[in-house]
Amino acid sequence: MEQQRNPDFMALYRMWEKMSPGPKAEIRRIGRPSELLEMPAFYRLYSGRAGSEWEKQAYQRLIFCLPYINHTEEDISLGKALARGKNVSEKRLFQVIRSGSPNDMIQLRRILQMVEPYAKWNTAAQTLWYWNERSKRDLLEDYFMNQTKQ
C-alpha cells in the first residue's frame, strides 16, 4: 500500500504571505468555506493542487483558517496555541467539537479570529487537513493538556 504524502503546507503559507492585501481581505471577509469557490484569491492559493474532491475540501479548510493562524518555528500545536490564547472558553471549543460541517469550521475560525494564535503551521495545517471526529478530539485534548492552572 502506498503511503499518502501530505502537501507542502509551508509552501501554501509562503504563498499566503506573498499575496497582496486585496486578495487577503477577500478571504478574510467570507463566512463559510464553500464561499472560497467563488473567489479568485482561493484559486491563486489552491492552484489545482488537489486530485480529489476530498483534497479540495481539505484545501478549503486550510485556506479558510489560514488568515488567523500565525506561524512560529516553536513546536506549538493548534490546541496548545488555543490554550495559551486569552478568552478561549471551554464552551466555545466544545461548540466546535460538537458541530458538524461546515459549522465546526465556522466556529473554529471565529475562535482563531479572536485569538490569532501562534502555532507551528505544519502541525496546525495537518489538523485541518485531516479534520474529522478524531482530529477534533485531539484538538480538545491538546487544549486541556496545555491549559495553565488558574
In the chain, where the domains are located? 9-145
Which helix (H) or strand (E) element contains residue 22?
A: helix 21-29
Find the mean pLDDT for residues 13-34.
96
CA-to-CA distance for 72 and 118, rounded, in angstroms? Answer: 6
Identify any residues that bridge with 119 across adjacent strands, giving them in sequence order.
71
CA-to-CA distance for 68 and 36, rounded, in angstroms? Answer: 16
DSSP 51-66: SSHHHHHHHHHHHHHG
The per-residue pLDDT of the chain, averaged, comes to: 91
Q: 139 falls in which pLDDT band (50, 70, 90)?
A: very high
**What is the pTM (predicted TM-score) of this model?**
0.92
9-145 maps to which CATH number?
1.10.520.40
CB atoms within 10 A of CB 13: 20
pLDDT, tens digit (0-9, with 9 covering 90-100), for 38-56: 999 999 998 877 778 899 9
pLDDT, tens digit (0-9, with 9 covering 90-100), for 94-130: 999 999 999 999 999 999 999 999 999 999 999 999 9
The amino acid at residue 127 is T
* pLDDT at residue number 150: 47
Cα angle at 97 between 56 and 142, to 5 degrees?
95
Query: Which of these ranges, 25-29, 70-74, 84-88, has the smallest mean pLDDT?
Result: 84-88
Peptide bond into 102 cis (omega under 30): yes
pLDDT over 50 at 70, yes or no: yes
CA-to-CA distance for 140 and 121, rounded, in angstroms? Answer: 18
> What stretches of the chain adopt beta strand conformation (E)?
70-71, 118-119
* pLDDT at residue number 149: 55
